[in-house]
Structure 1
Amino acid sequence: MSNDTGQADAPSSPGVSYVMPVLNDVRHVRAAVDSLLAQDYTGDVEITIAVGPSIDGTTELVRELQAADPRIHVLENRVGSTPAGLNLAIAASTHPIVIRVDAHSELPDDYARLAVETMLRTGAQNVGGIMDAQGRTSFETAVARAYGSRVGLGGTPHHVGGREGPADTVYLGVFDREMLMRVGMFDERIKRGQDWELNRRIKQAGGLVWFTPALRVVYRPRASMRALARQFFSTGLWRGELSRSFPTRGTLRYFAPPVLVLGIVLGTLLGLGGLVQLGAGATPWLLLGFTAPIAYAAIVLLASIVVTGRDGVRTSLWMLAVLPCIHFCWGTGFVLGYGSLAKGISALRNPPKAV
C-alpha cells in the first residue's frame, strides 16, 4: 500500500499481519488470540507473538496456541519490553498491513476488515479507534469507568470517542508496513508512549494518522491496585520524558495531573501549618490550604457516584481509590519524567535508524 494515486489498484483484502508482544499475560492472551482467529477478514492472515521472559505460564500457553494453528508464530523476546517485542514481530511478519494487538485487548470480529477499508478509503498509513475498557470484577470495572471518564484520563478521543479524522495518535494501530519500515518502526528506548512517538515520525514523513470511532477494541484493565499504580507511574514517567523531549501544542494538557498533585500536596502542607498556627494562638490563615485536598476529595466522591452509579456500591467504593491512584501515580511519574529521570540515556531526539 502507498499514499499515491496507484493505491486504487491495491487489492481490496491485502494480507494482514497481527503482531502481539506478551509478558506475564497468561490471564488474557488466549482471549486476545481467539479474537484474532475469529475475524471475518477474507485476506491472508498471520499472527506473530513475541513472548518476553514470563514466569506465569504465558510462554507455555502461547506455544500451545502455536501448535494448534499454523497461522500463529511465536518468537522469543529476550529484552522483554513492548517496543522490542513489536519490532521483532513486525520484522518476522510478511504482509503489507500490520495490526498491533495488546495481550489485554480483544478485537471485534470486523476490526481488521473495517480498518483496512478505512485505510484504502483515506490513504492513511495508520488507523485506530477507541479503547473500550471493560472489567470483570468490581475493581476492574472501576478502572474501566475511570478510563472512559473525563475526570479519569481526560476524555481523549481514543478513550471516549469523537469524530473521524486525522489524529496525533490512535490506540494500538493498523499500519502500512512500507511506512513502518521507512520511519524505523518503534523506538526501543521508549518503554511507554512509543506509539505516540512513532506516529509523530509517520506524520513527519508525510503520512496520515487516522482516528475512526467505528473501531472499538475491548481492553481488560489491570486486576490489582498495585498493578494499576505501577502502570500509571510508568506511563506518567515516560509521558513526562516525551513532553520534555518533543514539546507540542497539545503538551499543556499533560500538565493537569502533576499540577493537581502539587496543588494538593502544597495545600495539605499549608493546612498543617495552619494547625501549628492554631496551636500557637496565631491567626490560622494557613488552614485555607486544606481547601485544595477537600475540594479534590469532593470531586472524587461526586465522580465515583456519577460515573459508577449503575455498577453497584462495591465499584463506587473502588472508584474512590482508583481515581487518586491514577492521578497521583501518573502526576508523580510525569514530574520525574519531565525532569529527565525516565531513562539513563541521552539523545532521545535522534530517531531510530530506518530498516
Structure 2
Amino acid sequence: MGRVCAERSPDRGNVSAVTRENRRPSADAAPPPVSVIMPVLDEERHLRSSVRHILEQRYDGELEVVIALGPSTDRTDEIAAELVAEDPRVRTVPNPTGRTPAGLNAAIGASRHPVVVRVDGHGMLSADYIATAVRLLEETGAANVGGIMHAEGENAWEHAVAAAMTSRVGVGNAAFHTGGAAGEAETVYLGVFRREVLEQQGGYNEEFIRAQDWELNFRIRSAGGLIWFSPELRVSYRPRPSVRALAKQYRNYGRWRHVVARYHAGSINLRYLAPPVALCAVAAGLVAGAALTPWALVVPGGYLAAIAAGSLPAGRGLPLAARAQIPVALATMHMSWGWGFLTSPKKLARKVIASRREPVPATR
C-alpha cells in the first residue's frame, strides 16, 4: 500500500492545515505555487482539452501539472508526451497498476508545490477554479475545498446522462452534483488540498480502488480538519459514452459505497439505500407478475412512470433525441448502482478494513 512521503519545507506550516480559524490573505501576498495532479487511463478523447483548461487558468501563481500514466490501450501516452514537449509545466510519472489512488500518490510524490489540485483526465476546470480554490482555502482555513461536478455531454446520449447526473431523481440531494449552499461537507468532488495535510495523512489509501476521496476526507475530518464545499468551484465532467460504460461506472460506485458502509457504519443514509431497494422492488414485481399475479407489475410500472416523469424537468431545453434517452440513463444508473451495492463482497470490505489508517492529527 503506497504512501506519500516527502520532506516538509520550512515554509509549509502545520497548524493551519487542520484548524477552523477564518483567515484572510494579505493583499500583498503572492499567490502560492500550485501542483495539479492527474491520474489518467485511456483518456485520449479528453486529455488534451483537460490539460489546456489547467494551463489557461486565470491564476497569477506558478503552476505545474503532473500526469500519472496508467497502462492505457489508446493514444493517451502519446498525447501526454506531446503535452510535455509543448509546455515545460507538464510532467509525467508512471502508474503501472493503473489504479486511481496509486496514480494520485505517485503524482503527489512527484509534485512540489504547497497547494495540490486533483483533476481527472476527463474533467475541465472553470477558468477561475484554482484562484477561487486558493482563496477559499485561505478564507475558511479548510484542509480541502471542492465544488460541483457539472456533467456536460457532447452528443445526445451524453447530454441525457449529464441531465440524469445533475437531477435529484438521478442522484438525490448530493450537493456536488446538484449544487447547494457553501459550507462544511463530509466529502467533495476531486478536491484542492494543502500539501501538508496530504503528507500528514500519508496520501490516499490504495486499497480503495473507488471512494478513495471519501476515505481520505474521512481521515482528514477525524483529525480535526475542515472539508469545505462551495458552488463557486465548478468542474465540467464528460459522461461515459455508452450504456455499458455507464452501467460499469455505477456498478462500481454501488460496490464501493457498500465497502464504505462496512468500513464506517455511520456513513450510510437513505439516499444510498434507494437504488438497491428500487432494484429489489422492481425484480420482485417482475417475478411475481410473471408467476403469481399481473397486479405485481404495478411496482416496475410505477418505477418506469416515476423516472419518465422525473426526466421531463431534467431534460428541459435539450433536443428530443437527448430527452428520449434520459429514462434509459436514469434506469441504468439506479439499477447498476443497486446491483453493485447488493453484490459487493464482504471479503473486499475485510481487505479494506485491514488496511485502515488511523487519522494523524497535525502537530502543534
State the TM-score, normalized to the length of structure 2. Answer: 0.89
Partner of 2:351: 345
1:336, 1:342 within 8 Å by CA — same for their partners in 2? no
Could you give the per-residue CA deviations for residues 236-281 of structure 1, whole angstroms, max 9, x where no partner exists?
111111112112255342111001101111111111122xxxxxxx
Segment of structure 1 superposing worse, 61-70 or 248-257: 248-257
Q: Name the counterpart of 1:129.
A: 147
Alignment of 1:159-170 (within 5 A): 159-170=177-188
In 1, distance between residues paired with 2:100 and 2:146? 18
Residue pairs, 1:20-169, within 5 angstroms: 20-169=38-187
* Residues 1:308 and 2:315 aligned together: yes
What's the offset of the Cα at 1:6? 11
Counterpart for residue 218 of structure 1:
236
Q: CA deviation at 1:346?
A: 5.2
Match of 2:206 in 1: 188
SS state at 2:127 partner: coil
| Structure 1 counterpart of 2:6 | none
> Contact 2:152 / 2:158 at 8 angstroms: preserved in 1?
yes
Letter in 1 for 2:294: L
Letter in 2 for 1:340: K
Letter in 2 for 1:69: D
Q: Deviations over 1:147-168 (max 9, x none)?
A: 1001111131001111111000
Q: Which residue of 319, 329, 335 corresponds with 2:342?
A: 335
- Indicate conservation of the 8 Å contact 1:237/1:342, yes or no: no
CA distance 1:109–1:346, shift in 2 (3 Å) = closer
- CA distance, structure 1, for counterparts of residue 261 and residue 359 of structure 2: 22
Q: Specify whether residues 28 and 253 from structure 1 end up closer, same or farther in structure 2 by C-alpha distance, changes over 3 A only.
A: same
Structure 1 pair 333–171 and aligned structure 2 pair: CA distance change class (3 A):
same
The percentage of counterpart residues that share the same residue type is 42
Shift of 1:293: 0.2
> CA–CA distance in 1 between the matches of 2:38 and 2:347?
28
User: How far apart in 1 are the matches of 2:71 and 2:265?
Assistant: 34
Is the Cα contact below 8 Å between 1:148 and 1:155 reproduced in 2? no
Gaps of 5+ in 1: 275-285
Partner Cα distance (1:198, 1:254) in 2? 19
What amino acid sits opposite 2:78 in the alignment? E
Q: CA RMSD in A?
A: 1.9
**SS state of the match for residue 347, structure 1?**
helix
Shift of 1:127: 0.2
Structure of greater relative contact order (alpha carbons < 8 Å, 6+ residues apart): 2
2:337 matches 1:319: no
1:305 Cα deviation (Å)?
Answer: 2.7
Q: Which has the larger radius of gyration?
A: 1
SS of residue in 1 equivalent to 2:353: coil
Letter in 1 for 2:220: I
Contact preservation (8 Å) 2:223, 2:359: no
Gaps of 5+ in 2: 1-12
Moved more, 59-68 or 250-259: 250-259
